[in-house]
Amino acid sequence: MSSRSDVVIIGAGISGLSAAYNLSKAGKTVQVIEARNRIGGRAWTDDSFGFPVELGCMAIHGYNEGNPALGYAKAFGLETKRLPASPGRLFTKDGLVDAALTEKLRTNLSSAMAHMNTVTSESSLSDTSVANVLLSPSSPLFTGLSESEKQNAVALARAAEIGWGIPLEEVSAYWSRWASGVAFAGSDGVIVGGYGKLVEAFRDKAEETGKASFTLNARVTKVIQTDDNEVQIHTSDGKIFCGRTALSTIPLGTMKSLPNDFFNPPLPAHKTSAVSRTAVGVLEKLGLLYDSLWWDSSAGPLTVLLETGTLLALPISSSPPCLHVLVPYGLAGLSADKIHDILSHAISPETTVPQPTKVVFSRWKDDELSLGATSSPVKAGDGRSPLDFAELARPVWDGVLGFAGEATELDHRGSVPGAILSGEREGRRVQALLDRKEIV
Ligand SMILES: Cc1cc2nc3c(=O)[nH]c(=O)nc-3n(C[C@H](O)[C@H](O)[C@H](O)COP(=O)(O)OP(=O)(O)OC[C@H]3O[C@@H](n4cnc5c(N)ncnc54)[C@H](O)[C@@H]3O)c2cc1C
């Protein structure tokens, strides 16, 4: 049995780190328990190529628009940079889409999105999917296009599935408009050296307070409310941690698979129902390292339009040449060799392209500590709404067990800022609760 902390935090992803940092800075004792042999969770920077390749989050979306990741990075003395805004080039599986058609496809997509937003603002279409509106035969998406060009327009619209993780056919048209209204957007940036730097800085600064400790390789197997309304946390290696309060940052995908007796007493039905009504999407990352450069390094992002989804290849280094590929759910089962074949045939159909010399890839969908990439937008039907995410955020057991993590942050779910803000939110709540308990 370990000593008793003010707060035990399950999970050392960005939400757990943000809570641990803020609580320890406020003078509370914090014990963080992480199942993996590393901190960061879905922030995972791979350095095996000799430079950072992000297998989880990469971009600071809304770099100039208030993303809190930038604020913490600056406060911790990390170097950051804004990325150039470049829409890049479009390809079909057989080669480059010419500039005039590229422009037309992008203009049509903007008009179709604006049209969908107008339609959904005028009438509540929470049971109608994005596909029903955006891909309907009368959609502005298809204005002035031939039959074959229309297929490219559909494929370009499916680029939204990279972030959403589920098909357009499943996303509620009404709530997609609502959610996109507040997300950090506009300019993009990155942390030089990768998100791993931010993750380490959060841990180091928390440890510097002398109030926070981290235990790795310890998977939580049971969370129990004690008779005196505190929390006991059991781990796979037989240890028991005690907390006056506890925060779970277990990802939504993993929450869906927990045994019924994981929480004792069991979570209330309104919480478990919200867990099953919300969805987790698929997005995998692939790093392909080459001996020689075979794409135009000035082209910016390379988007390949396919029937089953859209591949986005970001040239992140020219020397040595490296492509960082975002693989959406429709293509996530493909091998690295197959993805290389698709990219090389589409981007450089006339030449023989070298095979990659090294490959790194993620497996978020099958990773039992995430079981998916991030929470997805509200699905169409069954009366679902963003209130399901608000329900995920609600504490139980008179407030002593709280929930943080990207899926619990209504306005910014699915992102690093969502994870950070959820950790701040629960940190503030738990701090106030502990302070009030001390007064009694
Ligand atoms: C491929 C991909 C690309 C992304 N790109 C971006 C991007 O560019 N920009 C952006 O803003 N966001 C992006 N995101 C989203 C962002 O990475 C996540 O929202 C954020 O990292 C989630 O943090 P979290 O703390 O909520 O969850 P996690 O990082 O998953 O942390 C939860 C932790 O809990 C641990 N855990 C789980 N179960 C247990 C248990 N039983 N016992 C102990 N520990 C446990 C896990 O191992 C994990 O470390 C991306 C995500 C993915 C997957």
Give every CB contact of residue 402 below 8 A, 6+ residues apart in sequence. Answer: 245, 246, 247, 248, 395, 426, 429, 430
The residue from 363, 389, 406 where one domain ends is 363
Q: How far apart are CA 84 and CA 315, in angstroms?
A: 13
Give every CB contact of residue 425 below 8 A, 6+ residues apart in sequence. Answer: 393, 404, 409
Question: How many domains does the chain contain in total?
Answer: 2
| pLDDT tens-place string over residues 119-173 | 887 766 668 899 999 999 999 999 999 999 999 999 999 999 999 999 999 999 9
Question: Do 217 and 68 fall within a single domain?
Answer: yes
User: Residue 243 has which token pair?
Assistant: 């907390």
Question: Do 202 and 337 fall within a single domain?
Answer: no
CATH number at residue 154: 3.90.660.10
| pLDDT tens-place string over residues 229-240 | 999 999 999 999
CA of 413 to the centre of ligand 1 (A): 11
Q: Which domain holds residue 344?
A: 86-185+283-363
Q: How far apart are CA 183 and CA 59, in angstroms?
A: 13
Please name every residue paired with 305 in a beta bridge, in sequence order, or none if there are none: 310
| pLDDT tens-place string over residues 288-314 | 999 999 999 898 999 999 988 899 999
Question: Do 377 and 249 fall within a single domain?
Answer: yes
**What average pLDDT does range 337-357 have in this prediction?**
95
Question: Do 359 and 380 fall within a single domain?
Answer: no
**What average pLDDT does range 34-48 have in this prediction?**
98
Which atom of ligand 1 is closest in space to residue 418's alpha carbon? 19
Question: Do 291 and 175 fall within a single domain?
Answer: yes
The residue from 348, 363, 378 where one domain ends is 363
- For the cut 90, the answer to whether the pLDDT of residue 177 exceeds it is no
Question: Do 166 and 211 fall within a single domain?
Answer: no
- For the cut 90, the answer to whether the pLDDT of residue 2 exceeds it is no
Residue 121: other Cβ atoms inside 10 A: 12
Choice from 10, 33, 34, 42 to test ligand 1 binding pocket (greatest atom count within 8 A of CB): 42
- DSSP H helices, 80-146, are 99-122, 130-134
Q: How far apart are CA 22 and CA 160, in angstroms?
A: 34
The residue from 336, 363, 390 where one domain ends is 363
Question: Do 18 and 72 fall within a single domain?
Answer: yes
User: pTM (2 decimals)?
Assistant: 0.97
Amino acid at residue number 39: I
Which atom of ligand 1 is closest in space to residue 326's alpha carbon? 1
Q: How far apart are CA 105 and CA 144, in angstroms?
A: 10
Q: Is-contact 275 252, C-beta < 8 A? A: yes
Give every CB contact of residue 204 below 8 A, 6+ residues apart in sequence. Answer: none
Q: Is-contact 41 369, C-beta < 8 A? A: yes
Beta carbon of 416 within 6 Å of any ligand 1 atom: yes
Question: Do 399 and 260 fall within a single domain?
Answer: yes
CATH number at residue 211: 3.50.50.60
Distances in Å between the Cα of 300 and the Cα atoms of 90, 199, 327, 328 are 10, 28, 17, 19
